[in-house]
Structure 1
Amino acid sequence: MKKKDEQIQFEQDLVSDVKNDFAKRQAERKNYERQWQLNMNFVMGNQYCVLNDFNELENYGKQYFWQEREIYNHIATIIENRIAKLCKIRPTLNVAPSSGSEKDIGTAKISRKILNTLEHNLRLSEKIAQATNWSEICGTSFYKIVWNSEIGSIVGLDYDGKCIRDGEVDISVCSPFEIYPDNNMADGIDSLESIIHAKPYKVSQIERIWNVRVEPEDIDVLTLNNQSLAGGLGYTASVSKVISEKAKDSAIVIERYEAPSSKYPNGRVVIVAGNKLLGVQELPYKNKTDGERGFPFVRQCSIAQVGNFWGNSIVERLIPIQRSYNAIKNRKHEFLNRIALGILTVEDGSVDVDNLEDEGLSPGKVLVYRQGSTPPTIMQTNQMPSAFEKEEENLLSEFVQVSGINDANLTSTISSANISGVALEIMVEQENERLSATADQVKYAVVEIGKQILRLYKQFASQKRLGKIEDNNGHIELFYWNSSDISSDDVVLDTTNEIGETLVQKRNMIFELLKAGLLQDENGKLDSAMKKKTLEMIGFGTWQDVNDLTELHNKRAGKENLDFLKGQTDDVLEIDDHKVHINSHTAFLLSQDILNSENGKQIAQNIMEHIEKHKKFLSGGEANE
Structure 2
Amino acid sequence: MTREFREDIIADVKRDFAARVEARRPYETQWRLNMNFYMGNQYCTALPTGEIADVKRDYYWQEREVFNHISAIVETRQAKLNTVRPSLTVRPFSSDDGDVKTAKNATKILNSACDRLDVDALLTDGTMWSEICGTGFYYIGWDARAGLEISDGVFEGDVCASVVPPFEIYPDNIFAQNVSDCRSIIRARAVDVDELKRVYGKTVQPETSDVIGLSSAAVGGGLVANSALNKLAPTVAEHSAVLIERYVVPSSDKPDGELAVVANGVLLHYGALPYINGVDGRREIPFIKQASLVNAGCFFGASVVERSIPVQRAYNAVKNRKHEFMNRLSMGVMAVEDGSVDIDNLEQEGISPGKILVYRQGATPPRMVDMGSVPTAFDTEEARLLNEFTKISGVSEIMRSSEAVSANMSGVALQLLIEQDDTRLSLSAEYVRIAARDIARHILRLYKQFGSDSRLARIAGQNGQVELVRWSASDISSDDVIFTTDNELLSTPAMRQNMMIELFKMGLLSDAEGKMSETQKHRFLEALGYGGWDSDIDLAQVHVSRAETENLKDAYKINEFDDHELHADAHVKYLLSECPTGKKAERLKAHIKEHRAAIALTAAPEQSTAPAARQSTATA
* TM-score, length-scaled by structure 2: 0.88
State whether residues 34 and 133 of structure 2, in contact with CA within 8 Å, keep that contact through their aligned partners in structure 1: yes
1:99 Cα shift?
Answer: 2.1
1:532 and 1:478, CA in 2 relative to 1: closer, same or farther beyond 3 A? farther
1:532 Cα shift?
Answer: 4.7
**Aligned match of 2:305:** 315
In structure 1, which of residues 252, 255, 267 is the aligned counterpart of residue 245 of structure 2? 255
State whether residues 102 and 588 of structure 1, in contact with CA within 8 Å, keep that contact through their aligned partners in structure 2: no
1:580 and 1:509, CA in 2 relative to 1: closer, same or farther beyond 3 A? closer
1:404 Cα shift?
Answer: 1.2
Secondary structure, aligned partner of 2:241: strand
In structure 2, which of residues 9, 14, 17 is the aligned counterpart of residue 19 of structure 1? 14
1:349 Cα shift?
Answer: 1.5
In structure 2, which of residues 522, 525, 531 is the aligned counterpart of residue 535 of structure 1? 525
**Aligned match of 1:439:** 429
State whether residues 257 and 295 of structure 1, in contact with CA within 8 Å, keep that contact through their aligned partners in structure 2: yes
In structure 1, which of residues 201, 221, 225 is the aligned counterpart of residue 215 of structure 2? 225
What amino acid sits opposite 1:22 in the alignment? F
1:128 and 1:526, CA in 2 relative to 1: closer, same or farther beyond 3 A? farther
State whether residues 29 and 52 of structure 2, in contact with CA within 8 Å, keep that contact through their aligned partners in structure 1: yes
1:291 and 1:379, CA in 2 relative to 1: closer, same or farther beyond 3 A? same
- Is the aligned partner of 1:51 residue 2:46? yes
1:521 and 1:453, CA in 2 relative to 1: closer, same or farther beyond 3 A? farther
What amino acid sits opposite 1:453 in the alignment? I
* Aligned counterparts of 1:88 and 1:443: Cα–Cα separation in 2: 11
* Aligned counterparts of 2:331 and 2:593: Cα–Cα separation in 1: 100
State whether residues 345 and 377 of structure 1, in contact with CA within 8 Å, keep that contact through their aligned partners in structure 2: yes
**Aligned match of 1:338:** 328
1:54 Cα shift?
Answer: 2.3
**Aligned match of 1:33:** 28
What amino acid sits opposite 2:30 in the alignment? Q
1:610 Cα shift?
Answer: 4.3
1:429 and 1:613, CA in 2 relative to 1: closer, same or farther beyond 3 A? closer
1:229 and 1:93, CA in 2 relative to 1: closer, same or farther beyond 3 A? same
Alignment of 1:153-552 (within 5 A): 153-154=148-149, 156-158=150-152, 162=153, 164-408=154-398, 415=405, 418-470=408-460, 474-499=464-489, 503-516=493-506, 518=508, 532-542=522-532, 544=537, 546-548=539-541, 549-552=543-546
**Aligned match of 1:78:** 73
In structure 2, which of residues 547, 552, 559 is the aligned counterpart of residue 553 of structure 1? 547
* Identical counterparts, % of pairs: 44
1:91 Cα shift?
Answer: 1.2
1:552 Cα shift?
Answer: 3.8
1:511 Cα shift?
Answer: 2.2
Alpha carbon RMSD of aligned pairs, Å? Answer: 2.8
- Is the aligned partner of 1:116 residue 2:114? no
User: Which runs of 5 or more residues in structure 2 are unaligned?
Assistant: 599-620
**Aligned match of 1:61:** 56
In structure 2, which of residues 90, 93, 106 is the aligned counterpart of residue 95 of structure 1? 90
1:517 Cα shift?
Answer: 5.2
* TM-score, length-scaled by structure 1: 0.88
What amino acid sits opposite 2:98 in the alignment? K
1:419 Cα shift?
Answer: 3.3
Secondary structure, aligned partner of 2:498: helix
* Aligned counterparts of 2:96 and 2:518: Cα–Cα separation in 1: 26
**Aligned match of 2:607:** none
**Aligned match of 2:100:** 105
* Residues 496-529 of structure 1: per-residue CA shift (max 9 Å, x gap): 3333655443322222233445556899876777
1:391 Cα shift?
Answer: 0.6
**Aligned match of 1:563:** none
What amino acid sits opposite 1:157 in the alignment? S
1:111 and 1:518, CA in 2 relative to 1: closer, same or farther beyond 3 A? farther
1:546 and 1:461, CA in 2 relative to 1: closer, same or farther beyond 3 A? farther
* Residues 11-45 of structure 1: per-residue CA shift (max 9 Å, x gap): 11101111111111111000000000000000000
Secondary structure, aligned partner of 1:541: coil
State whether residues 468 and 476 of structure 1, in contact with CA within 8 Å, keep that contact through their aligned partners in structure 2: yes
* Aligned counterparts of 2:398 and 2:585: Cα–Cα separation in 1: 66
State whether residues 548 and 571 of structure 2, in contact with CA within 8 Å, keep that contact through their aligned partners in structure 1: no
1:321 Cα shift?
Answer: 0.3
In structure 1, which of residues 135, 139, 155 is the aligned counterpart of residue 134 of structure 2? 139
State whether residues 71 and 230 of structure 1, in contact with CA within 8 Å, keep that contact through their aligned partners in structure 2: no
1:261 and 1:514, CA in 2 relative to 1: closer, same or farther beyond 3 A? same
State whether residues 193 and 206 of structure 2, in contact with CA within 8 Å, keep that contact through their aligned partners in structure 1: yes
**Aligned match of 2:123:** 128
* Aligned counterparts of 1:238 and 1:157: Cα–Cα separation in 2: 55
1:612 and 1:245, CA in 2 relative to 1: closer, same or farther beyond 3 A? closer
1:332 and 1:447, CA in 2 relative to 1: closer, same or farther beyond 3 A? same
1:67 and 1:519, CA in 2 relative to 1: closer, same or farther beyond 3 A? same
User: Which runs of 5 or more residues in structure 1 are unaligned?
Assistant: 1-5, 561-569, 595-603
* Aligned counterparts of 2:243 and 2:72: Cα–Cα separation in 1: 36
Secondary structure, aligned partner of 1:231: coil
State whether residues 102 and 587 of structure 1, in contact with CA within 8 Å, keep that contact through their aligned partners in structure 2: no
* Aligned counterparts of 2:72 and 2:301: Cα–Cα separation in 1: 21
* Aligned counterparts of 1:333 and 1:282: Cα–Cα separation in 2: 63
* Aligned counterparts of 2:368 and 2:571: Cα–Cα separation in 1: 98
